[in-house]
Structure 1
Amino acid sequence: MRAFLLLFLLFPFIELALLIQVGSVIGVLPTLLLVIGTGVLGAVLLRVAGVATAWRARERLARGELPEQEMLEGLLIAVGGGLLLLPGFISDIFGVLCLIPFTRRLLVNKVRLRAAEQAMRQRAFYDSPAGQAQRPDGARPNVLEGEYERRD
């Protein structure tokens, strides 16, 4: 968590340093045009990809299926479009990676696998309450039965 916080605090400085470096190599006007161009590209791609994902989700809902893939892709499209709207080249690279269908599907599949692993880890520590099904190894859960009396 500390690494994420440190990266979050350093990110604007890294972006600014890269903008200065690119500006010194290609000039101020081309750098500004690149930053503005990627912002416009992000807005256009956000609209196009978002509409396409919304239509696929609507089709799956019409078939009676849950559109979990489309929902996660829509989230990545929103993140990618937001990153493209931010001024800077590093955020643009990550934004484009979120908007390209191939890499977006790879990221979504990685998130789904990680969520499934997390769910399996949580199920591994679940003890069924008394009176319900036994654990997979056939052992009974550790339940202490008794009575109590409250004395005030």
Structure 2
Amino acid sequence: MWLLLPFVILPIVEIALFIQVGGLIGVLPVIALVLGSAALGVAVMRRQGARAVLDIQQAMQEFRDPGRPMAHGALVMIAGLLLVVPGLFTSTLGLLLLIPAVRSLVLRRMAARVRVSTSAYGYRQGYPSEADLGADPAGFRPGRGWRDEGVIDGEYSVQDDPPAPVREGLTDQRGDGGRPGGSGWTRH
């Protein structure tokens, strides 16, 4: 339900803005504004898309975090897309996103809402304490949603493979006097 709300409200806002601004400056200037913002949006996406790739490459070459250039590049591409979408409100949002200070503010707000968490898939890294071991001496603790049914305990040992038989033409044991380069892989 909440996802559909912007798709209902946005067209109503755009239509209301078209009526209000069209009443002030006229229909043809409003149409010219919409077409001009679409052309600007296409130009921004072309130019800034290539620039974002260059910024990311430069950050990686300088061993800096490429996340900031990637985020700014993504917001510039969103700004270009908003400029291409016909409408005065979306074009205004697109123009605002082209300002670096506004992009930084948006990224700070988004970063404040992001929470990073990891999942160990039932395996604890490091050395477990005695309390962590519990009944399992290996320190394995099933993760969330893990069923303990059907688990098979087993042991294994690593054994070296027996030497492969000497294949003709692939080793230096051909009786050629041990000349260099006589591996059989190349013909001399």
Which bin holds the TM-score, normalised by the shorter protein? 0.7 to 0.9
Map 1:44-63 to 2 at 5 A. 44-63=43-62
One-letter amino acid of the counterpart of residue 50, structure 2: V
Q: Does 1:114 align with 2:113?
A: yes
Is this contact kept in 2: 1:130–1:141, CA < 8 A? no
Q: Which residue of 2 aligns with 1:35?
A: 34
Shift in Å at residue 91 of structure 1? Answer: 0.5
Report the CA distance shift for 1:16/1:148 in structure 2 as closer, same or farther (over 3 A): closer
Q: Provide, for residues 56-85 of structure 1, a one-character-per-residue CA deviation record: whole Å limited to 9, x for no partner.
A: 211112123341111111111111110000
Q: Distance in 1 between matches of 2:70 and 2:9?
A: 31
Q: Distance in 1 between matches of 2:124 and 2:21?
A: 66
Q: How much is the aligned-residue C-alpha RMSD, in angstroms?
A: 3.2
Q: Distance in 1 between matches of 2:104 and 2:130?
A: 41
TM-score by length of 1: 0.73
Q: Which residue of 2 aligns with 1:24?
A: 23
| Greater RCO (CA < 8 Å, at least 6 residues apart) | 1
Is this contact kept in 2: 1:38–1:85, CA < 8 A? yes
Give 5+ residue unaligned stretches, structure 2.
137-147, 152-188
Q: Which residue of 2 aligns with 1:74?
A: 73
- Structure with more of its chain in helix, by fraction: 1
Map 1:94-133 to 2 at 5 A. 94-115=93-114, 118-119=115-116, 122=117, 129=123, 132-133=126-127
Shift in Å at residue 88 of structure 1? Answer: 0.6
Shift in Å at residue 143 of structure 1? Answer: 5.6
Q: Distance in 2 between matches of 1:60 and 1:41?
A: 27
Q: Provide, for residues 7-35 of structure 1, a one-character-per-residue CA deviation record: whole Å limited to 9, x for no partner.
A: 22221122122112211221111110111
One-letter amino acid of the counterpart of residue 54, structure 2: W
TM-score by length of 2: 0.61
Give 5+ residue unaligned stretches, structure 1.
none
Count of residues in correspondence between the two structures: 141
Aligned-partner SS, 2:4: helix
